[in-house]
């Protein structure tokens, strides 16, 4: 049944998806003759080149210096692609994961100095006690095997179920590691209280040590790794190297999904303030703003269920440079968000009904890639202009 649904989807979206045979290498596109399957957006014409169509619950993407691409599956697998084709291989030595609902193997990224130290970082849930915890781990590659696995940071306390685990990992220009952890579906105690790691964005050294200038290092009872709090379930983060800024998107309840500018020590309000309501339609909170709590740069109501995102810096997409591309799960599209500095300007919905978009990532070569659930696609965005 799964394959039948996928086949029906592909037929329905044939007008804008160029479904090349899996493993096709990049093809030269003459500027004078745009591909007939290309999509005309407000600013650019983009061909969607489908590289693979058998993903289940993909989450993260990263590229090795040799050009290979790694894609995580939430159930605990890391697929290997080369020259935009699935090699048929998967990494071994992947840590055992606590796979429940939204928990499992999540994000993956390389250390900024990977070529000298070889560290690959992963965010994943593991079993602990009667529940699970979010772990930031790192390992090295020996062939196709992960070796020397270390648990850099373990979030606490343990939590039953698999709701709201986040999680994304980014590094800033100074080498600090930031990661997001959802509130585990508990309110209000987790996100607003500083004595736990849930509903927060954290900042650590690459080996798990706590920076001495973190905002709550000297606060009695506070988890010293906390950078921001009051974050419901941030599943996307992007670092703006040129301006030293961190952007994050987080799920609201029914309505109230947010884009936030992440700054030291800030309280982003969940669940004391929100532009959303409870899933049953009842009032969540009467407050949309409170003193000492940050307002989102923008929010979505109704929800689009934002997940991963990328800040476009590539010259291959000149009309999109500086824009955020946000993955939308519920409305199954990519949201292009235009910013003026730290201010929201406008947005455009791209590639409607492509599937539940889990992540958008920019490769070292400057191309944008998208992974989806439901339709199970790995798609490359090839500019035609």
| pLDDT single digits (tens) 5-61 | 454 444 444 434 444 434 443 444 344 455 667 899 999 999 999 999 999 999 999
How would you class 104 by CB atoms within 10 Å of its CB: exposed for 0-12, middle for 13-18, buried for 19 or more? buried
| 237 contacts 248 by C-beta, under 8 angstroms | yes
- Where in the sequence is the domain holding 108, given as residue range(s)? 2-383
| pLDDT at residue 22 in the model | 42
Q: What phi, psi does 344 have (nearest 5°)?
A: -75, 135
At residue 6, the pLDDT reads 54
pLDDT on residue 34: 58
**Which tokens belong to 362?**
């920019």
| pLDDT of res. 143 | 96
- Find the mean pLDDT for residues 339-365: 97
Strands 234-240 and 226-229: unpaired
Q: Residue 378 pLDDT > 90, yes or no?
A: yes
Q: Is the pLDDT of residue 354 over 60?
A: yes
d(CA 43, CA 348): 10
Question: Which distant-in-sequence residues (6+ apart) come within 8 Å of 353 by Cβ?
Answer: 9, 12, 13, 332, 333
**Which of 3, 98, 111, 164 does the annotation list as catalytic?**
164
* Contacts for 203 with CB less than 8 Å, ≥ 6 apart: 176, 177, 178, 211, 214, 225, 227
Where residue 170 sits, what CATH number does that domain have? 2.120.10.30
pLDDT of res. 185:
84
Q: Give the model's pLDDT for residue 44.
A: 95
State pLDDT tens for residues 122-158: 999 999 998 899 999 999 999 999 999 999 999 999 9
Domains contained in the chain, number = 1
Summarize pLDDT for 262-288 with one digit per residue, the tens: 999 999 999 999 999 998 899 999 999
251 is known as an active-site residue: no
User: pLDDT above 70 covers what percent of the chain?
Assistant: 90
Query: pLDDT > 90: what percent of the chain?
Result: 83
* Residue 319 backbone phi and psi in degrees, to 5: -80, -10
Query: Which pLDDT belongs to residue 27?
Result: 42
Q: What is the pTM of this model?
A: 0.91
Between 378 and 31, the higher pLDDT residue? 378
């Amino acid at each position: 049944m799964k394959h039948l649904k996928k086949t029906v989807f592909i037929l329905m979206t044939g007008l804008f998806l160029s479904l090349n045979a899996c493993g096709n290498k990049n093809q030269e596109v003459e500027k004078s003759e745009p591909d007939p399957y290309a999509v005309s957006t407000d600013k650019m014409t983009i061909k969607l080149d489908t590289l693979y169509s058998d993903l289940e619950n993909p989450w993260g993407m990263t590229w090795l210096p040799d050009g290979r691409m790694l894609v995580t599956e939430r159930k605990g697998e890391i697929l290997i692609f080369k020259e935009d084709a699935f090699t048929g291989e998967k990494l071994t030595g992947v840590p055992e994961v606590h796979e429940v609902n939204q928990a499992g193997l999540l994000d993956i990224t390389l250390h900024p100095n990977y070529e000298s130290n070889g560290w690959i970082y992963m965010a994943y849930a593991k079993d602990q006690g009667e529940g699970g915890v979010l772990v930031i781990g790192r390992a090295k590659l020996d062939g196709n095997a992960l070796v020397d696995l270390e648990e850099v940071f373990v979030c606490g306390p343990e939590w039953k179920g698999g709701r709201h685990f986040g999680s994304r990992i980014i590094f800033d220009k100074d080498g600090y590691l930031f990661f997001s952890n959802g509130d585990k579906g508990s309110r209000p105690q987790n996100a607003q209280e500083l004595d736990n790691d849930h509903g927060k964005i954290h900042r650590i050294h690459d080996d798990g040590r706590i920076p001495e200038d973190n905002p709550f290092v000297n606060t009695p009872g506070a988890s010293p790794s906390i950078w921001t709090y009051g974050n419901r379930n941030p599943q996307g983060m992007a670092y703006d190297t040129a301006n030293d800024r961190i952007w994050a998107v987080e799920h609201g309840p029914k309505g109230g999904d947010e884009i936030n500018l992440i700054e030291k020590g800030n309280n982003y309000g969940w669940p004391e303030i929100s532009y959303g309501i409870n899933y049953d339609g009842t009032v969540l909170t009467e407050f949309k703003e409170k003193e000492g709590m940050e307002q989102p740069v923008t929010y979505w109501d109704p929800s689009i269920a934002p997940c991963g995102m990328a800040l476009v810096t590539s010259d291959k997409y000149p009309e999109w440079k500086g824009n955020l591309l946000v993955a939308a799960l519920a409305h199954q599209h990519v949201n292009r968000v235009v910013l003026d500095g730290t201010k929201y300007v406008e947005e455009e919905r791209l590639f409607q009904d492509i599937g539940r978009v889990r992540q958008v990532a920019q490769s070292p070569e400057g191309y944008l890639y998208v992974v989806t659930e439901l339709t199970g696609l790995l798609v490359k965005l090839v500019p035609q202009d």
